[in-house]
Amino acid sequence: MTRFSVLPAGLAVAAAATLAVAQAPVPVFRSEVTYVEVDVRVTDDKGAFVRGLTLDDFELLEDGKPRPIAAFNLVDLPVEREETGFPGRATAPPPDVRSNARPFEGRVYVMVIDDTHTRFTRTGLARRAAREFIEKRMAANDLMAVVHTAGPRDASQELTNDKALLLAAVDRTTGRALRSATAARIDNYNLTQELIRRQPAGQALPGQDTALTDPDEALRAQDARSTLDTLRGVAEWLSAVRGRRKAILFVSEGISYDFTDIFGNRSASIVLDAMRDTIAAAARANVVFYGIDPRGLTMLGDEEIMIGASPLSEEPGLSITGGLRDEVRFAQRSLQMVSAETGGFAVVNDNEFDGAFERIVRENSSYYVLAYDPPDHKPDGKFHKIEVRVKRPGLKVEHRRGYASPRGRPKAAEKPTGNPRIHATLNSPLPVSGLTLSVFAAPFRAGSGKGASVLIGTEVEGRELSLAETGQLEISSLAVDAKGEVRGGSTETVSFALRPQSRERIRGSGLRVFSRFELPPGRHQLRVAAHDGGNDRTGSVVMDLAIPDFHKDPLSISGIAIASAMAQAVPTARPDAELGNALPAAPAALREFLRNDQAIAYAEVYDNEKAPHTLEVTTTVTRLEDGSVVLRSSEEHASGSLRDRRVAVTTTLPLPDLADGTYVLKIAARTRTGSATAAREVPFTVVGMRTPARPQ
């Protein structure tokens, strides 16, 4: 086994300094729910965003009365494009380490895909529109979630910047819309006419007067309410994100229930109330809707073909073209309504989405955020108009129209168990940057025979810790599965009752804390939060975690744990007992190495193939820029010789031989017959003698 050499004192200090990367403070607003936030876009006569305005340039009124602006901020987000890729490789694999050292500075999107109001035959159009925005317009510094209005609960995706996960969620779209109301009425009419013809002469048919009604009206109302409830729920969830604009991209053919016809549709008033509640929730949460009709320029072709052969009478209201056009017009009007009322716009009757998508990005990149304390309002649902004026002449101001007071008194929130600061931080949709953390997670096969044992390493910035003798650091982790259910978690507490030497070492280098808990196979979102009770600082990290079925998959590979000599400058509170002596030192979150560092990676290959075979395990290190392989090693194992059906893989990274740049460590396994394969990749960076940065 490779042993680490003792680092020179100066190099150890350089390693310790890597934790002290200064970041410019990001203005944040108070989080009290009594505050009302309004994001404002100010443009000149050419449509360009106007920067450089100050608080004194704005005037805000509610219900016609001036209100003092209590908080003011300019949000001007860069659009960080993804690298186009290098020869031999499109992009690097997603990092296995996440940090909140850099405060989140991106756009927040939720794409709500309305399977409920998308025809099955147009599923591809909905997927294409959604994929186009993600692939072409989502930047590296953005976060997005995908929510479906129908289908299995695990079809959606939590907030992430991993495009592969988002696209996979989009591809789980399946249109489930009911047939058009016009088609349903015509079929009902024709069926009634046929039954009348079969009736004995002079005998009336029971229910004959309902021949022109929509037999699916109740289901249509239910679908409308379900979709609106989903939109409202997403808006309310986003209300926890303060101080920035939040956008909901509503990919839908529109609500197909005419809630304006209170006489013809029995549930019209109920659906209309649901629409109002959705718009009100978005206004209170400062959320903007963008309705996107994936059909583009609507020609009504498939609907007309579907019902064009039906025998029609001259009864009024049975016109195919007229009825279908009315349905499309109303459905698109519902998209325009929810968009306009929340400050967004709808994309309808347009086959070119690129310009509209570029405008969405532009509107969510540069704006001013104003916050004010509103008067005390009765919980009566009354709408309150907001007006923002700019004192400089010739400028155009765009903002939402106002907000509605909630109806009734809100229910008292349940008091959380445990540390309330940890609880609030873990429930934040975005990572919190108050206490700097770097986190890695490596799943291994659980010894219990079920699922995975996930090793979580959390490294905390030492200079930000109080290290008070009576204080302590609490770190909590939890994992949420694709259905939104918590599947595991742990809490570790570190006391600061330390010797002076230990306190100074932690202050200079930081602190590493390990935890473990078991998770079932599948997609998870891991949330890690830390709270220093001495100074009340809190921070959190959110990362995606895919768990293979280590006990059933023919071949699978654990996470990759990496230890380095320089990373040992960070003291570890408690070693991980299960990893044992697999590595010469504690695994760390460092993924940017100096060339004279020493780094070793460890992983495990699990072989569940029952028939006798030969297993080949290959380790490669590839330079990302040109795809050149700088290290390759391979070993073979007879399946019958494997102890516990497991192969331990240890790799020394050839850091002294590598030029500055980004590399990919890949561990792959396959049976010689090729019937089963598995692979795991981790990106890392090599630099010269510069101070390596903490992972982003």
Q: What is the pLDDT of residues 38-56, one digit of tens each?
A: 999 999 999 999 999 999 9
Q: Judge whether 631 and 621 are in contact, CB under 8 Å.
A: yes
Answer yes or no: same fold for 108-363 and 433-687.
Answer: no
Cα distance between residue 211 and residue 215, in whole Å: 9
Q: What is the pLDDT of residue 9?
A: 29
Q: Look up tokens 């006569």; give the residue.
A: 45
Give the CATH class of 433-687: mainly beta
Cα distance between residue 188 and residue 184, in whole Å: 6
* In the predicted structure, residue 19 carries a pLDDT above the cut 50: no
Q: What is the pLDDT of residue 330?
A: 86
CATH (residue range 33-77+367-409) = 2.60.40
Q: What is the pLDDT of residues 464-505, one digit of tens each?
A: 999 988 889 999 999 999 988 999 999 999 999 888 899 999
Give 209 or 397, the one with higher predicted confidence: 397
> Which whole-number Å values give the CA distances from 174 to 110, 223, 231, 267, in the listed order?
18, 15, 18, 26
Global pTM value: 0.85
Helix H segments across 454-607? Answer: 500-509
Q: pLDDT-derived band of residue 132, with 50, 70 and 90 as boundaries?
A: very high
Q: What is the pLDDT of residue 296?
A: 84
Q: Judge whether 99 and 696 are in contact, CB under 8 Å.
A: yes
Give 457 or 181, the one with higher predicted confidence: 457
Q: What is the pLDDT of residues 138-149, one digit of tens each?
A: 998 899 999 999
Q: 635: which 2 tokens? A: 């070993």
Q: What is the pLDDT of residue 75?
A: 94
Q: What is the pLDDT of residue 539?
A: 96
* In the predicted structure, residue 21 carries a pLDDT above the cut 80: no
Q: What is the pLDDT of residue 181?
A: 79
Q: What is the pLDDT of residue 26?
A: 35
Q: pLDDT-derived band of residue 169, with 50, 70 and 90 as boundaries?
A: very high
Q: What is the pLDDT of residues 84-130, one digit of tens each?
A: 444 444 577 899 999 999 888 899 999 999 999 999 999 999 999 99
Q: Within 10 Å of residue 199's Cβ, how many Cβ atoms?
A: 12
Q: What is the pLDDT of residue 1?
A: 42
Cα distance between residue 485 and residue 124, in whole Å: 30
Mean pLDDT of 269-278: 90
* In the predicted structure, residue 10 carries a pLDDT above the cut 60: no
Q: What is the pLDDT of residue 638?
A: 93
* In the predicted structure, residue 463 carries a pLDDT above the cut 80: yes
Q: What is the pLDDT of residue 291?
A: 97
| In the chain, domain spans | 33-77+367-409, 108-363, 433-687
Q: Judge whether 538 and 466 are in contact, CB under 8 Å.
A: no
Q: What is the pLDDT of residue 515?
A: 95
Q: What is the pLDDT of residues 371-411, one digit of tens each?
A: 999 988 888 778 899 999 999 999 999 998 888 887 766 56
Cα distance between residue 413 and residue 430, in whole Å: 21
Q: What is the pLDDT of residue 650?
A: 96
CATH of 108-363 given 3.30.420.40, 3.40.50.620, 3.30.499.10, 3.40.50.410: 3.40.50.410
How close are the terminal C-alpha atoms of the chain, in Å? Answer: 31
Q: What is the pLDDT of residue 17?
A: 26
Q: pLDDT-derived band of residue 14, with 50, 70 and 90 as boundaries?
A: very low
Task: Give the lowest-confidence range in 247-261, 507-521, 531-545.
Answer: 247-261
Q: What is the pLDDT of residue 264?
A: 63
User: Which contacts (CB < 8 Å, 24+ apart) does range 399-402 have?
Assistant: 399/38, 399/39, 399/40, 399/41, 399/343, 400/38, 400/39, 400/283, 400/286, 400/288, 400/342, 400/343, 401/283, 401/341, 401/343, 402/62, 402/283
